[in-house]
Amino acid sequence: MKKAASFGLSFILCALAVGMGPVLAQNPSNLLAKAQLNKTQTQDLKSLGITVFVPNYIPAGFRVAKIDIKPCPSGSQRSAKGVCRFGPQYGIVYRNSNNVCFAIEATGGGVGGPPGLTNQIAVNVGSLGKSILYYGQYEMPEMRQRSPQSLLYMEWAGTGPFYRLVGAALARQAYYGERPNQRVSECRNEIDPQEAAKIIESFSVL
């Protein structure tokens, strides 16, 4: 496995081996069951007017803990793909009984390149192209000194909207309003990077 070099918002199941692209043509009811979304949640996500990606693989024991949806502001200009300047956005947080959690998130724009962490895994996100899953501590000593905790996040995939997976530290910050080094919520522990890579490579269109 290679060591990393090279972030960006903090603000989704057939077990596919790492290296395989996502299955884009799914039986809708099967995909909803695997992604653990009910009809209301599905309608809310689709109401954003963008392509919604959810996981076709989730490790056993994980459940939807929270869904955050932010539409484009009323009256804002939208592109042919449904995006406005900084939206719309959604985040789906999954958690298990051991307080391991991760989130699948999307945004219309305002993303940048992520700072490097000490480890990385190359992932194939099918129609979204190739990406990188970063995990570990920050590579830059000054960043590591300020924030010594381990992180896990994926480089944004797509050309707008953009999609990615983030681990517990960034999910706590984005969806529970906590700093990455706070461990007071139920979203405490990072998912295994190999499992995270399998989830990413199962991204499918809802």
Q: Is residue 155 part of a domain?
A: yes
> pLDDT of 154-194, one tens digit each?
999 998 899 999 999 999 888 988 765 666 677 889 999 99
Q: Is residue 3 part of a domain?
A: no
Q: Is residue 22 part of a domain?
A: no
> pLDDT of 30-86, one tens digit each?
877 778 888 899 999 999 999 999 999 999 999 999 999 999 988 888 888 999 877
Q: Is residue 19 part of a domain?
A: no
Q: What is the mean pLDDT of the chain?
A: 82
Number of domains in the chain: 1
Going by C-alpha positions, the residue among 90, 36, 38, 31 that lies closest to residue 61 is 36
- Tell me the C-alpha distance between 21 and 40, whole Å: 28
Name the phi and psi angles at 36, rounded to 5.
60, 40
Q: Is residue 109 part of a domain?
A: yes
DSSP-assigned letters across all residues of 108-131? SS---PPPPEEEEEEEE-GGG-EE
Give 24's DSSP letter.
-
Query: HEC states along 168-179?
Result: HHHHHHHHCCCC
CA angle 204, 176, 124 (to 5 degrees): 25
pLDDT at 206 over 70: yes
List the domain range (segments joined by +) for residue 138: 28-205
Q: Is residue 4 part of a domain?
A: no
At 152, list the tokens. Answer: 């896990």
Count the helix, strand and coil residues of the chain and give each as a percent rounded to the nearest 5. 20, 30, 50
Q: Is residue 81 part of a domain?
A: yes
- Tell me the C-alpha distance between 125 and 164, whole Å: 10
Dihedral (CA of 32, 34, 37, 42) sign: negative
- The CATH number given to whatever domain includes residue 171 is 3.30.200.100
Q: Is residue 153 part of a domain?
A: yes
